[in-house]
Amino acid sequence: MANMSLKILDQSEIKALHKKTLDVFQNIGVKIESSSIRAKLRKAGAKVDDATERVCFPEEMVDEFIKRAPSSVIMQELNGKRHDVSPGNPFFSAIILDPFISDYHDGPRSPVLEDVRKHTIIAQHLNRVGGAIRMQQNVTEVPAPQCYDKTMEVFVTNHNKHIHIMPTDMDNCQVWLGLFDILQDEYRWNDGDPIASIASAVASPLRIDQINCDFIEIAVKKGFPLTSTVCPMAGATSPYSVTGTALISNVEALLVILIAQVLKSEHPCFYTGGASSVMDMHTGHDLYYKAEKAKFKLIASQMANFYKVPHSGETGGSLTYRHDMQNGVESMSFILSAMLAGQAVFGGLGSLGNANGMSAEQMIIQDALLSMAE
């Protein structure tokens, strides 16, 4: 069978979205709260207003620095196995912990330490999975402050794969970096080896705060691949339209890449778009796995391919927390869209319940769905 692909934009629409993106960068700008990064951007050619923390990027600067980002990214597991990640060679990672666990027998419940152990072991034994992410979520039966350290211990002692970290503050980030120093003594990787990737969050619309600027600088210094958390919500933090939200998402996904390339040319980065959601205008609820998600993922992959930067996104999931037909149909629609569009990283294997929950069963179900999609 010939290779299949799925596209939602034609070439004229891709160019139009890119042109509007350049217009936002040049004429509207973004808010960057780090004075040190603003100084580096000014030196590289950006127009900076320190009073308002507003930075505008000339069109030629955007084009120049995006071209510096590599077209593939090396991801290394703790055990030394390396993956050259690109649209034709995808990388898969599992989520280990979330605000609630969808228990097959008891329904949604709070996570316990045994969930961390079980989920990590499953991720370790799924051959497709090359990485794992332990979300910043406590378990119920271990009191603070021991809770965080205990869940971290269970997580790192039950797998030897790549680690995705999404730090919440500098103290949390330093815990991870200290842990990597300890693990390096055990696994003997070299300084600069990409055994972890770091996420920097962009606050929609068009703002990146001091702490997330700091995370970009740490990723560049350590040589870790950089992802971003870009989650505009249609109707709340972005326009209530697919095209308007896709524009905001494109600008924000490129912003982190731009900053990283100014700090260090050819630093490995992922275009992390397509994680947009939709606000229910009747209730105000954030619907993360609504049907529009498939469109957002398709657009993001096409734009990432246009910029020649690999696209990192979630595997997909479901609005329901049940292991039922709705879950399967919704999960498969997102997985198949991402697979056919050329998404390079499939993160969060195991997610369901509107991206607030996960389960052991969902990890295995989605692993099987990925085989079907392939």
For residue 2, is pLDDT > 90?
Answer: no
pLDDT attached to residue 359: 97
For residue 363, is pLDDT > 90?
Answer: yes
Closest CA to 98 of 133, 147, 142, 150: 133
Percent of the residues in the chain that have a pLDDT greater than 70, as a whole number:
99
Greatest distance between any 2 Cα atoms in the chain: 59
107-109 and 91-97 as β-strands: parallel, antiparallel, unpaired? unpaired
Residues 346, 93 contacting (CB under 8 angstroms): yes
Please provide the CATH number assigned to the domain covering 11-373. Answer: 3.20.20.480
For residue 50, is pLDDT > 60?
Answer: yes
DSSP β-bridge partners for residue 313: 346
Share the mean pLDDT of the chain: 95
Give the pLDDT band of residue 5 (cuts 50, 70, 90). confident
pLDDT attached to residue 145: 81
Can you tell me the distance from the alpha carbon of 195 to that of 184, in angstroms, rounded to the nearest whole number? 10
pLDDT attached to residue 135: 86
The 10s digit of each residue's pLDDT in 195-244 is: 999 999 999 999 999 999 999 999 999 999 999 999 999 999 999 999 99
Residues 179, 147 contacting (CB under 8 angstroms): no
For residue 4, is pLDDT > 90?
Answer: no
Residue 271: helix, strand or coil by DSSP? Answer: strand
Tokens of 178: 């200290």
Cα-Cα-Cα-Cα dihedral of 255, 346, 354, 291, to 10°?
Answer: 80
Distance set, CA 237 to CA 210, 246, 340 (Å): 20, 12, 29
For residue 248, is pLDDT > 50?
Answer: yes
For residue 269, is pLDDT > 80?
Answer: yes
Q: How many residues does the chain have?
A: 374
pTM score, whole prediction: 0.95
CB proximity list for 260: less than 8 A, separation 6 or greater: 69, 216, 219, 220, 226, 267, 269
The 10s digit of each residue's pLDDT in 272-323 is: 998 999 999 999 999 999 999 999 999 999 999 999 999 999 999 999 999 9
Residue 287: helix, strand or coil by DSSP? Answer: strand
Sorted by where each begins, the domain ranges of the chain are 11-373
Distance set, CA 252 to CA 247, 273, 344 (Å): 9, 8, 19
Element (H, E) at 157: none
Distance set, CA 218 to CA 51, 80, 134 (Å): 25, 22, 19
Edge to edge, the sheet with strand 100-103 lists 107-109, 100-103, 357-358, 351-352
Residues 328, 369 contacting (CB under 8 angstroms): yes
pLDDT attached to residue 1: 36
Torsion 330-333-335-337 (CA) sign: negative
Can you tell me the distance from the alpha carbon of 221 to that of 156, in angstroms, rounded to the nearest whole number? 23
Closest CA to 292 of 311, 319, 270, 272: 319
The 10s digit of each residue's pLDDT in 56-113 is: 999 999 999 999 999 999 999 999 999 999 998 999 999 999 999 999 998 999 999 9
Closest CA to 247 of 236, 235, 255, 239: 239
